[in-house]
Amino acid sequence: MSGIAYERGTPFLLARLGSLAARSWTAFLADRGITQNQYAVMVVLREQGPLGQRRLAELAAMDARNIVAVLDSLTEAGLAERRPHATDRRRRVVTLTPSGTRLIDTAAQAAAEGQNAFLRSLSPTERDRLNDLLQRLYNAHVHA
């Protein structure tokens, strides 16, 4: 194995791979004309269906005050829309438009293909194991 010892250390490797993955992910989203926050909101709406803004912010792990700008941009782009709540006219429900649904579906498919390319040097079993280990580390540090 070549390289300086710290270049083989777990923190260094995680940081470098994280940087490579983040750069790739940001470019991937930019190619589709969306941001990370817009993607997160759209994924939640695709998985959960129409939601109130507060609940949508919770599920997308965003501050409720910050989601307004994200929703404004998605609405202006024709990817989402706000509708009056069926029983409470003071509330608004957010839903994906057909264009938003198409975009998130094609983006999700392309993201899966990109993930496969990024992890191509690992077998499916190794990929599963890596994900399990990273999830365990993440949970230990985030939920500690």
**H or E stretch at 93:** strand 92-96
- Quickly state the pLDDT bin for 114 (edges 50, 70, 90): confident
- For the cut 80, the answer to whether the pLDDT of residue 7 exceeds it is no
Residue 84 — pLDDT band, cuts 50, 70, 90? Answer: confident
Length of the chain, please? 144
The pLDDT value given to residue 9: 84
Categorize the per-residue pLDDT at 3 as very low, low, confident or very high, splitting at 50, 70 and 90. low
More confident residue, 1 or 115: 115
pLDDT for res 139? 87
Measure the CA–CA gap between 29 and 51, rounded to whole angstroms.
23
Do 96 and 44 touch, CB atoms closer than 8 A? Answer: no
Residues 58 and 52 sit within 8 Å (Cβ to Cβ) = no
Question: Is the pLDDT reported for residue 34 higher than 70?
Answer: yes
State whether residue 138 is helix, strand or coil.
Answer: helix
The pLDDT assigned to 86 comes to 80
CA distance 63 to 67: 7
Give the whole-angstrom CA distance, residue 74 versus residue 68: 10
What is the structure's pLDDT at 6?
Answer: 61
